[in-house]
Amino acid sequence: MSLVGNNYYIQMMGSVFHVSGTSAATPSFAGMVALLNAGRLAKGDPVLGFLNPLLYAAHAADAGAFNDVVRGDNSCTEETCPCPAGTGFAAAPGWDAATGLGSVNFDRLQAVIARLTAAGR
């Protein structure tokens, strides 16, 4: 999965800060999963559980549920990073180690997951 992870504004201890990286993107994706599960629970369906097989099945069923990220990389840019500068992976068409399936098109992902889980996948 890939999400924009740059300059998320947060409020902490009465002050506003911006954060970037996995610390910003991961909670955002977790929020999307929480919305998917809340919708399922409201209909009496179980929560999704382990997502990896379902996400790959969703991509196979409707690649438009994800936005293919073809530019950029996840190279190390932090001065405090223990890896050599520039270490990482480049985005490329299709699945790649930097962006995985791509960024989420939430409405389409929600619809394809509903279809897949109704079909017993």
pLDDT tens by residue, 71-100: 988 887 777 777 777 788 999 999 999 999
Tell me what the pLDDT averaged over the chain comes to: 90
Tell me whether residue 2 is in a domain.
no
Closest CA to 25 of 85, 99, 75, 79: 99
Tell me whether residue 18 is in a domain.
yes
Number of structural domains found in the chain: 1
Three-state SS for 27-69 is HHHHHHHHHHHHHHHHCCCCCCCCCHHHHHHHHHHCHHHEECC
pLDDT tens by residue, 25-42: 888 999 999 999 999 999
Domain extent for 29:
8-118
Tell me whether residue 44 is in a domain.
yes
Tell me whether residue 77 is in a domain.
yes
**Strand ranges inside 60-112, DSSP E:** 66-67, 103-104
Secondary structure element (H or E) that encloses residue 18, with its range: strand 15-19
Tell me whether residue 75 is in a domain.
yes
Token readout for 5 is 């992870």
Can you tell me which residue has the tokens 């073809």? Answer: 70
Task: Decide: residue 51, CB within 10 A, 0-12 exposed, 13-18 middle, 19+ buried.
Answer: middle
pLDDT band at residue 121 using 50, 70 and 90 as cut-offs: low
